[in-house]
Amino acid sequence: MRLTEAELAAWGRRIGREVRPPVFIGLRGPLGAGKSVLARAVAEGAGVCDYLPSPTFNLLFRYEIGGYESGGRGAVIHADLYRLRSPKELDGIGWNDVVGDEEAIVLVEWPERAGAHLPGERWEVHLRYAQGGADLREAEIKSFGDPPPLPGFPARAR
């Protein structure tokens, strides 16, 4: 499915509003593919207000979702493993807590860097540059194990 940035963001916001944590979503694709665009939209949809631009230099950010009206939704965790040199470094960023967090929507860019440390139950969204326009991305979605449903794919901008 080919998506504009507005469509990708609309899909992300819908995921943020509707998905039931815990859920782990790996975001694959080359530099500039739109992984952070999608992650930011999910955070927005989940009710995160103080979103930071990109976790590139810190690897991982956790956003509490306090007082969100749909209630009881804990956190959005956004990680970017691009700078991870070895899966062994995951211990240092509290990876086990992230994967084991029962209340979080976890979004991880460059999930392949985590190797065997990825959770068995997860989604992977693969974004690629699409032919037919610099501002289009091809999005492919795959589930591993039995993750909770991801709403609304493919999305239409609203």
Ligand X SMILES: Nc1ncnc2c1ncn2[C@@H]1O[C@H](COP(=O)(O)OP(=O)(O)OP(=O)(O)O)[C@@H](O)[C@H]1O
DSSP classification of residue 30:
S
Q: Which stretch binds Mg ion (CB under 5 A): 5-13, 87-95, 101-109, 140-148?
A: 101-109
Write the CA distances from 35 to 68, 109, 146, integer angstroms: 24, 6, 22
Q: Which stretch binds Mg ion (CB under 5 A): 3-11, 83-91, 102-110, 136-144?
A: 102-110
Q: Which stretch binds Mg ion (CB under 5 A): 34-42, 63-71, 85-93, 121-129?
A: 34-42
Residues with Cβ within 8 Å of residue 114, at least 6 apart in sequence: 81, 84, 87, 90, 95, 108
Question: Does residue 42 bind Mg ion (CB under 5 A)?
Answer: no
* Cross-strand partners of 141: 125
DSSP classification of residue 152:
-
Residue count, binding to Mg ion (CB under 5 A): 3
Question: Does residue 35 bind Mg ion (CB under 5 A)?
Answer: yes
Enumerate binding residues for ligand X (CB under 6 A): 3-5, 8, 29, 31-37, 80, 82, 109, 135-137
Find the binder of Mg ion among 13, 14, 36, 48 (CB under 5 A): 36
Angle between helices 35-46 and 5-18 (to 10 degrees): 40
In whole angstroms, give the CA distance from residue 74 to residue 153: 24
5 binds, among Mg ion, ligand X, none (CB under 5 to 8 A by kind): ligand X
Residues at the contact surface with Mg ion, assessed by CB under 5 A: 35-36, 109
